[in-house]
Amino acid sequence: MSKVLAGIVAAMLLAGCSGPPITTTARSTTPTASPSSQAPAARQPAPQESAVPLEAAFERTINQVLPSIVQITTEDGLGSGIVYDSAGHILTNAHVVGTAKTMNVTLATGSKPHDARLVKSFGGGDLAVIKVDDPKGLTPARFGDSSKLRVGQMVLAMGNPLGLSGSVTQGIVSALGRTVTEPQDPDSPGATITGAIQTSAAINPGNSGGGLVDLSGQVIGIPTLAATDRDLGGGAAPGIGFAIPSNTATDIAAQIIRNGKVTNSHRAALGIRGSTLIGDDSQPAGVAVAKVDKGSAAAKAGIEPGDVIISLNGRKTSTMAALAEALSALQPGQKAKVGVVRLDGSTTTITVTLGVLPGD
């Protein structure tokens, strides 16, 4: 997490991309617009009566949901969260919490700080649950069914961007079923998010962990990433943000609250720890296996430290992110063919029965 702001992650768009690579980060910034040298052509204002119902829907939704949005402040920065239940559990992103065990929570609509503690983080899915000591005055949100979302549906993003408490931005559901990944670093758990909601609602630093809301007042996603474009020097790619679907978020939250940890991530795993290997041409050449978890799928199949994983089911895995993305398309229990380069330089293919990503 940043020393100033929470919501620091970077990710690469995998599905439906074309042209130069696009990366995503919750630290995207909005460039200052230059004034136009030409006055825009005069347009007839829309009839007031056609705008009022939509405005009323926005106002109604904001009034319903904003009391459930909170600001989470740790020693390292701030982010957003959503009141999950009347017991004081709050759902947020793991990267908002970072390594903090205690934090302060204030309502987006204004309140005295509530002391809160971490219940559990699930770094693999960039989700976490915290709990306030005194839930008095907290309003639980209503969570919707994200499987029923439609492209083009209007949504609002609510949170605390740049520390501006209780901010709201508007957009649409731009696409569904995206896969985005976050590179692992001290501020990011390195999560791979599957089934992500792409939205045009602006997501800025501090929005992470807040609510993506439909116009019926239901939370249908957790804003997590905003896009940047490498060709723009890491500058913002306007109108491209990503949210974790509410069905995923509430499933993980329920497991944490019930069991104190994630017992079933529903995600496939090899069970290795490694890093991207850079080849002689200074390009990524595979995943160097540093450790194989005891009893894991990789251990049972004979993958060893020192091996370099170069493919999964024929798909090249030149980086850790690529390997995580390839695994995200598979299910626990499935068999997968893993291409491996051994220490002696020989290449082999190993069949692995995939395990379950642990709920760290």
Same domain for 328 and 350: yes
Structural domain includes residue 79: yes
**Given 259, 279, 301, which residue is the final one in a domain?**
259
Verify whether residue 126 is a known catalytic residue.
Answer: yes
- Please tell me the predicted confidence (pLDDT) of residue 42: 43
Structural domain includes residue 155: yes
Owning domain of residue 98 = 67-132
- Please tell me the predicted confidence (pLDDT) of residue 186: 54
Structural domain includes residue 277: yes
Q: Does residue 189 contact residue 321 with C-beta atoms inside 8 Å?
A: no
Q: Where are the alpha helices (DSSP H) in the chain?
A: 48-65, 94-97, 246-259, 297-301, 320-328
Structure tokens at 139: 């309003």
One pLDDT digit (tens) per residue for the chain, 360 residues: 433 333 333 333 332 222 333 334 443 222 223 333 333 444 444 444 445 789 999 999 999 999 999 999 999 889 999 999 999 999 999 999 999 999 999 998 887 899 999 999 999 899 999 999 999 989 999 999 999 999 999 999 999 988 888 899 999 999 999 988 775 655 555 688 889 999 999 998 889 999 999 999 999 999 998 877 766 566 667 889 999 999 999 999 999 999 999 999 999 999 998 889 998 898 999 999 999 999 999 999 999 999 999 999 999 999 988 898 899 889 999 999 999 999 999 999 999 999 998 876
Q: How far apart are CA 346 and CA 114, in angstroms?
A: 58
Q: At 194, which CATH number? A: 2.40.10.10
Structural domain includes residue 217: yes
Verify whether residue 208 is a known catalytic residue.
Answer: yes
Same domain for 204 and 171: yes
Structural domain includes residue 152: yes
Cα end-to-end distance, the chain, whole Å: 19
Catalytic residue among 76, 95, 114, 311: 95
Same domain for 228 and 99: no
Same domain for 204 and 240: yes
Structural domain includes residue 19: yes
Structural domain includes residue 38: no
Same domain for 252 and 147: yes
Same domain for 302 and 283: yes
Same domain for 316 and 286: yes
Q: How far apart are CA 163 and CA 59, in angstroms?
A: 22
Same domain for 254 and 169: yes
Structural domain includes residue 49: no
User: In the Cβ-directed half-sphere of 47, how many Cα atoms lie within 13 Å?
Assistant: 3
Same domain for 299 and 200: no
- Please tell me the predicted confidence (pLDDT) of residue 317: 94
Catalytic residue among 28, 174, 188, 208: 208
Number of independent structural domains in the chain: 3
